Structure 1
Amino acid sequence: MASGLQYLESQRNAQPELAEWYTSLGDLYQRKLWHQLTLKLDQFVALAVFQAGDALIQLYNNFITEFETKINLLKLAHFAVIVSRQYADRGAAFNYLQGVIEKLLATKDLRIEEPILYVNLQIAAFKLENGDQKDCKQLLDTGKTTLDTMTDIDPSVYASYHWVSSQYHKIRQEFSDFYKSSLLYLAYTSVESLSDSFKLDLAFDLSLSALLGDNIYNFGELLSHPIIKSLIGTKVEWIYYILQAFNGGDLVRYQELSRVHKAALISQPALVENEKKLLEKINILCLMEIIFSRPSEDRTIPLIVIAERTKLSVEDVEYLLMKSLSVHLIEGIIDQVEGTVHVSWVQPRVLSIPQVKALRDRLDNWLDKVHTALLSVEAETPDLVAS
């Protein structure tokens, strides 16, 4: 018991600017106020002074080990994961985390499943960093099975699972899966808790995956998410405007942005390699915008109208419609004789503010028509209305 206090005393002398912290930690430790000590440690390890070097490793080995299984075990897992990231040698970090799992198992606590899963997800992340995709995937699959059998799971565990999954898909260039996993990660994470550089990188990767992902035709959810604002005022702001162009199916705007930001686009190999795919996607979104902008009673659209908006031939418009039908973005019938398409359904999507305003205007027009019809009925059949 004395060694932990001696360590705190030595640190208090070595780092007088942190003396109050060390005094408080020692006081809570001596009084065995484990919950309060956990909260204080949580604040302590978040200090900038611990973000580099091996200070946290020393803190863990010389102080936290003396009471580690007496505090909340998930909090112990949180501390262990933070400490593991300070090991320069990933092999040492892996061994350290395996040791933590053994300590958790030794407690025979009924609640160890969640903290062990949290630690294993960090091991999966280290495996991925070392290029071991197979072991990472195996740990993710095991983690998914465990999550499916648990209830009342802490958001941090979900966040960790979805983050490691997203990084696995990113390395494999599985854009759609990366997009889904990243949005799920953000669903369990406070954006305010993330650093500016982290938010910017994630916002850019999300934008890229939205553009390139198969069957991602709804950009509204991403554009309305707080993280996307991280792109504004940066060197990669251009991708934000391209997202907006795609969301609105604005082909002319996309072509203009492609010219203005040609150098930036060329610097992204994935965008260059998938140029044809991107053009097809924005044409499909242009088609959806044409359908959305028309009243529900006027959904029989001449193919020539679509051709003019998309700058495609009528034959290519037919292919575009068949593609949209095949991925269930729309439902309807193509009439090649009449040269029209009748759309009976279009996939719902998250609307931007301009799209919501357009919908409001259409509702206002519909209300005006209903009111006019009512007045007409009242004028023509006063006795029937009066009765």
Structure 2
Amino acid sequence: MEIDSETVLVTLREEVESKDADLAAHFYTLEDYYERKLWYQLSELLKKEIYRNPNSRAIRLKLYDNFISSFSDKVNQLQLVEFLIISLADSSPENALEYLTNLKQTLLKRGEKKSSNFADQDMNDYEIIQALLYLENELAKVKLQLGFIDEATTIIEQSQEKLDNLSVSADNRVNASFYYIKAQLVKRKGDFNLFYYNSLLFLACIPDIDDLEDKENVVRDICISGLLGDKIYNFGEIIMHDIFKYLSDEWLKELLLSLNNGDLTSFNKLIANKTEIERIPEVSNRVEFLKQKMCIMAFVELVFNKPTTSRCIQYSEILQKIPLLVNGNEIEHLIMRCLSLGLIKGLINQVEENVEVSWIQPRTMTLAQIKGMKAKMELWSDKVSVLNKYMGQAGGEILV
């Protein structure tokens, strides 16, 4: 299908010229690449200069319909799917469903045709399979928006199986779309743990976090799920992630940091602020759970800051550190909870009223915790130096 640049590219160029002259200038290059059949260069220009430019948003679907679709079989099929997905950003779910379904049928036909050529079957199949996976994940996203939760769940379960069976690593765009929709599905079920972990996997697949839309709500939802997950007792992954700087809710940020640091004083001040806590119903409805979680985090922080040679902790020290606990029974319950969660390993001595910790779960540390670890390492190094000096002197006397 030949395009008439006078009626397509020129028209689109005129639409954006008043907003962005540099963007409009790229349309001359588009026409040149198209006439010379430089499909790779054409695709790269669309990807890096036009689709990444926010001023192209209003014309993206027209560009896809009237220009990209005319050579859709000439470019990387995964990139083709991405062009369509970005173009549909402002479309209704019903419109998006129609476009995605039509492209899926087109790709299935192309996959059948390419597979008949044995010489490049593997390469073409891999490209088509990934493009179809990407499409199916996006179809699941649209179906979830339309309220078809069971259909979306089925698609994602099938995608999981297909991803597991791939002989090579899937493209990050495919993984990102999969983990995003999986996170949204478990969020609807109220599973904070799975939402937190799948969201972190989603973020790990994003090469440049600045390209992610709605960063504020994404990081806010992740932080809330981290607070409320009953299996999440370290927030270093999200605190140290680039997206954390986009969390503008200072109260929520401080609450997360207080829990991560085991800072009971700061935590109590924050939850006492009724105005702030009531802004987040999920949190205000689970204050008692957060207090229990705070006790666990404070105990873990106490153990973490102890030297490895002195991890026999008296109940009295735990009570002093965590005044929310009132007696030995509550302390023992707290310790057993930490043991059952796999946060520590150790032995409780009820007679001596102490606990001896032999292992603590590895954790992702914040910069403040890394500085604390640095101080520990320096202390350990000094002790080793003293021991080395002593051994040198004692050994010298024996040799004499």
C-alpha distance in structure 2 between counterparts of 1:37 and 1:308, whole Å: 67
Q: Does 1:252 align with 2:265?
A: yes
Q: Does 1:146 align with 2:147?
A: no
Q: Verify the 8 A CA contact 1:140 1:165 in the aligned structure 2.
A: yes
Deviation digits for residues 12-46 of structure 1, max 9, x if unmatched?
45555565333222221111111111112222233
C-alpha distance in structure 1 between counterparts of 2:185 and 2:350, whole Å: 45
1:224 Cα offset (Å):
1.1
1:280 Cα offset (Å):
0.9
Q: Indicate the residue corresponding to 2:122 in structure 1.
A: none
C-alpha distance in structure 2 between counterparts of 1:215 and 1:13, whole Å: 55
Stretch moving more, 12-21 or 184-193: 12-21
1:325 Cα offset (Å):
0.7
Structure 1 residues not aligned, in runs of 5+: none
Q: Does 1:206 align with 2:209?
A: no
Alignment of 1:1-387 (within 5 A): 1-5=1-5, 6-12=7-13, 16=17, 17=21, 19-42=24-47, 43-52=49-58, 55-88=59-92, 90-108=93-111, 109=114, 110=125, 111-150=127-166, 151-194=168-211, 198-231=214-247, 234=248, 236-259=249-272, 261-311=273-323, 312-313=325-326, 314-379=328-393, 382-384=396-398, 386=399
**Partner secondary structure for residue 357 of structure 2:** strand
Q: Verify the 8 A CA contact 1:94 1:126 in the aligned structure 2.
A: yes
Q: Verify the 8 A CA contact 1:4 1:62 in the aligned structure 2.
A: no
**Partner secondary structure for residue 309 of structure 2:** coil
C-alpha distance in structure 2 between counterparts of 1:270 and 1:21, whole Å: 48
C-alpha distance in structure 2 between counterparts of 1:374 and 1:3, whole Å: 80
Could you state the TM-score of these two structures normalised by the residue count of structure 2? Answer: 0.88
Stretch moving more, 369-378 or 136-145: 369-378
1:125 Cα offset (Å):
0.6
**Partner secondary structure for residue 69 of structure 1:** coil
Q: Indicate the residue corresponding to 2:117 in structure 1.
A: none
C-alpha distance in structure 2 between counterparts of 1:273 and 1:13, whole Å: 54
Stretch moving more, 340-349 or 77-86: 77-86
Structure 2 residues not aligned, in runs of 5+: 115-124
Shift of the 13–296 alpha-carbon distance from structure 1 to 2, 3 Å rule, reads: closer
**Partner secondary structure for residue 173 of structure 1:** coil
1:214 Cα offset (Å):
1.8
Shift of the 284–14 alpha-carbon distance from structure 1 to 2, 3 Å rule, reads: closer
Q: Verify the 8 A CA contact 1:121 1:161 in the aligned structure 2.
A: yes
Shift of the 211–13 alpha-carbon distance from structure 1 to 2, 3 Å rule, reads: closer
Q: Verify the 8 A CA contact 1:222 1:228 in the aligned structure 2.
A: yes
In structure 2, give the amino acid aligned to 1:277.
F
In structure 1, give the amino acid aligned to 2:194.
D
C-alpha distance in structure 2 between counterparts of 1:248 and 1:71, whole Å: 50
Q: Verify the 8 A CA contact 2:179 2:202 in the aligned structure 1.
A: yes
Provide the aligned length of Structure 1 versus Structure 2.
378
Stretch moving more, 42-51 or 137-146: 42-51
**Partner secondary structure for residue 51 of structure 1:** helix
C-alpha distance in structure 1 between counterparts of 2:46 and 2:392, whole Å: 75
C-alpha distance in structure 1 between counterparts of 2:344 and 2:24, whole Å: 65
1:4 Cα offset (Å):
4.0
In structure 2, give the amino acid aligned to 1:257.
L
**Partner secondary structure for residue 144 of structure 2:** helix
Q: Verify the 8 A CA contact 2:33 2:41 in the aligned structure 1.
A: yes
Deviation digits for residues 125-154 of structure 1, max 9, x if unmatched?
111111221111111111111111221421
